[in-house]
Amino acid sequence: MSGILGDAGPLSLQVWRRNLEVYLVTWRTACVSVVEPIFNFLAFGLGVGTLTREVAVDGAAVPYEAWVAPGIVAMSIMFQSFFDCLYGSYIRMYYQRTFDAITATPASLDDVVVGEALWGATRALIGSLTTLLVLLAFGHARTPAAAAVPLLAVCGGLLFGSAGLCFTGIVRNIDSINYPLHLVGVPMYLFGGLFFPVDAMPGWARAIAAANPVHHLAEALRECCGGGLGPRVWLTALGLLAASVPLLALALRLMRRRLVK
């Protein structure tokens, strides 16, 4: 139990790989989470887009559909990782006793938790890529700069996945997962400026958005989907990554407290 991530080591990659294999074996259910961003894009891009044709960004008018598209990528990144590390990890931990099975081998609980977070980041990556495909199909990401999306997805996924694992470490039962999901997760993306610009909102709401990582993720995604690869993109990736380290460390502590009896 030394470093900030406890004694997690290379075996966390085997935990990650196990989850990947389950995902591939159960690809039919996995497909559902791929369809979701398509629906989101249709509802927000094409649906809401009929009400609001344009959004003013730095004085320039951008079509709403093009503006909201990266927001849907952000939503996908956040939700895939947060949800899997919350609901998915809870099922693996409690109902399937997968953590018990793995920790009976040379792998430690820290390996398991780090592996779960890496898997959360991977879910975010998969989510971002499928959403990106949808955007490409609708012509909203035709720029080489969109290649930065996967990077942002992994960094963001690690952060939201770690947050999910913190809650997994403390929720009382499967029903209580609704609290972090609906009281933390949903407001984070609803008020993160994904579907409407935060500039138009009152000062306090803007202040909250400024502290919301989903907001920063969305802004960075907008920049690279719009063709820019400025410092905002790299700083956001770095910031998300840096913030996920202490959060993951917290998740490790909470999980140890819950499971080491």
Partner 1 sequence: MRAPAVSIRGLRKTYRGAPPGAPPAVDGLDLSVAAGSCFGLLGPNGAGKTTTIRILCAASPRDAGEVAVLGVDPALEPRVLKGRIGVVPQLDNLDPDFSVLRNLLVYARYFGIPAPRARERAAELLRFVRLEDRSGDPVEELSGGLRRRLVIARALLHDPELLVLDEPTTGLDPQSRRVLWDRVRELRRGGKTILLTTHYMEEAEALCDRVAIVDRGRVLVDGAPADLVRTHARRSVVELRGESAALASLAAPPDEVDRLEDRTVIYSDDGETLYHKMIQSAPGADAHLRRATLEDVFLRLTGRGLRE
Token reading at 144: 């080489």
Given 35, 46, 61, 101, the residue binding partner 1 (CB under 8 A): 101
Token reading at 15: 């935990």
The torsion region of residue 142 among left (phi > 0), alpha (psi -120 to 50) and beta comes to beta
Residue 143 sits at φ, ψ, to 5 deg, of -150, 140
Q: Helix (H, G, I), strand (E, B), or coil: what is residue 2?
A: coil
Residues 170-189 close enough to bind partner 1 by CB under 8 A: none
Q: Find residue 60's DSSP bridge partners.
A: 57
Q: Please answer whether residues 220 and 232 qualify as being in contact, where contact means their C-beta atoms are separated by less than 8 angstroms.
A: yes
Residue 29 burial (10 A CB sphere; 0-12, 13-18, 19+):
exposed
Given 76, 108, 162, 212, the residue binding partner 1 (CB under 8 A): 108
Rounded to 5°, angle at Cα 246 from 7 and 217 = 130
User: Sign of dihedral through CA atoms 60, 61, 66, 67?
Assistant: positive
Please name the residue ranges forming H helices in 85-185: 89-90, 98-103, 109-137, 149-168, 178-179
Convert residues 13-42 into a mask of x (bound to partner 1 by CB under 8 A) and - (unbound).
-x--xx--xx--xx----------------
Kindly tell me which of 11 and 117 has the beta carbon lying closer to partner 1: 11
Q: Find residue 55's DSSP bridge partners.
A: 62
Kindly tell me which of 44 and 119 has the beta carbon lying closer to partner 1: 119
Q: Is 11 in the site for partner 1 (CB under 8 A)?
A: yes
Given 102, 114, 165, 233, the residue binding partner 1 (CB under 8 A): 102
Instruction: Determine the interface stretch with partner 1 among 31-39, 95-103, 155-163, 182-190 (rule: CB under 8 A).
Output: 95-103
Minimum Å gap between C-beta 3 and partner 1 is 15
Token reading at 184: 């933390």
Q: Helix (H, G, I), strand (E, B), or coil: what is residue 54?
A: strand
Instruction: Determine the interface stretch with partner 1 among 47-55, 103-111, 126-134, 192-200 (rule: CB under 8 A).
Output: 103-111
Q: Is 12 in the site for partner 1 (CB under 8 A)?
A: no
Minimum Å gap between C-beta 221 and partner 1 is 32
Q: What is the dihedral of CA 219, 87, 161, 108, to 10 degrees?
A: -170
Q: Is 3 in the site for partner 1 (CB under 8 A)?
A: no
Kindly tell me which of 108 and 212 has the beta carbon lying closer to partner 1: 108
Kindly tell me which of 25 and 136 has the beta carbon lying closer to partner 1: 25
Kindly tell me which of 206 and 256 has the beta carbon lying closer to partner 1: 256
Kindly tell me which of 44 and 87 has the beta carbon lying closer to partner 1: 87
Minimum Å gap between C-beta 37 and partner 1 is 24
Q: Which residues make up the interface to partner 1 (CB under 8 A)?
A: 11, 14, 17-18, 21-22, 25-26, 96-98, 100-108, 260-261
